[in-house]
Structure 1
């Protein structure tokens, strides 16, 4: 049964909705059917079993699916995740193994991870792909080796790591990692809004990875032509450039029970630039073809035409700050659109029966 839920990020133990147990109650009150907790150590820094048992039991009582995330797998950025090293008493590898074993203990076997993180730096330096202390090719080699070191515990526990289509990596590179390490232990967490950041046409990229997509963080993408090249903004599902009927139909053909988890966003629309005229940027995308780049420009032009007609947001609106409550508005808009699309797909007749409630949680 396909269910719709939300990605949850905890900062100092709380979310937009409150502490962990209250967050589960608020998610259920919205009529959603599950959560993807970004990282296990956010809600349980010491992996406290009593607390995790309460969390898991409440999710069962509320009939919510739970997907859990663990640390990232790029050895060049593990210093950014000291809690994982603490769990391993100085060993990042041991910390990851503890996280994975804990996930297995609670039945959270499809786990999230990524190979990089957003950096608040200008130009091309907002991703680990263009860090200058380690070439991206060297990072990919280190990532592959680290994943091979994790593979034994993944096989022993029955847990799979699902690598996000994050803003620093392409689907071509994800597939090479899966081929090397094994699709029994590696899959894909699809965030379609990130695909254009790496100059990938969403339709083509999703078709490449669809057989391996085990988890999702769904939202749409708006594209706009700029002096630098292109800008990608995050938009609610149905308001950007994605063909959602085609996307969901393809995903559910390969994985009929796939949970459709939404990754909502609040105050900003997270503009990320594609510096298409920068030779360094272009050389950093060896799998990119001129034809694919042309298709992205065409998608941007079509989106701009919609904005000119008043059918979607202009670049000024996309760049404008939003009130905090917009996170829930964004989440509900995505869920409404996904449910409407699912209702039109014969192969997904057995979708969740929950109805979305009006408004925001008290």
Structure 2
């Protein structure tokens, strides 16, 4: 993908938002029957982008005409304009609201949009459903990028507020308070797996083309930032040390570089080592696949997402969470160039098919169909 096409995609995204954005609900035109209340952040934007990308298709299929308003503008709007023409509202929030704060927001949304079915857009990195209990009586759909494969994992008590804090705090002996996010019976029926980082302005066109065929003089790409909270820092340092401990391979790991150089390095790398972040799924996972670098990553058996890009031995090479087998798995795959290329091709093709089939558009259909059910 050329930098020109990437720039064009970004410009189109910016223009779409300008055309559809309002500062106050009173500014919504009569035809605005689908409103996204969004949080401005790089991660949250990837969840809103598909609604813009497929706006014309969504209008044709469901009759939904998109407009949007920032959460901070919605909450600051003192005008109590009622918008009965709005049939669908999808909204985001921060990750640290109290139940009372969420209840207040839900009441305001219902007041302003009395006829709308509500969808919560959870853009958070961890797998938890932290607002499930408070949202359950209000929302028709709950869209999330990734969830536990085994839904029974929800509702259990953890050390810290996620399954990752639980695992690594216990491993490293870090004292943290316990959390339990209740998930009501039947809430799983409302959960919709939305698209991930591959359907974003900076990634989607990389998967519309072909797998890069380039020389790969770098054995391993492992630029692993380590600054963060206690358990995160320990986890990332452990991963970085595992990468640097392997002798006789060329590993790129030091310093920060521009995004363009980062992509150039990935396209010149045989392997990309992508440890967990604050959640399991990272930008780097898709960046590696798009650039044709084989992905080595802590085991992802417990995660379900779309498209399925974590099939062990078929689309990535899994390692143990303590990185104890990193060197063995790395040397095995570096010694088998044919298998490495096959895995890279299969991973790229999985995402390519998903993008070309506009599968993200189909994944979002329940957001609008649930509203239809509520109206009958």
Q: Normalising by structure 2, report the TM-score.
A: 0.33
For the pair shown, the structure with the greater C-alpha radius of gyration is 2
Task: Identify which of structures 1 and 2 has the higher relative contact order when contacts are C-alpha pairs closer than 8 Å and 6+ apart.
Answer: 1
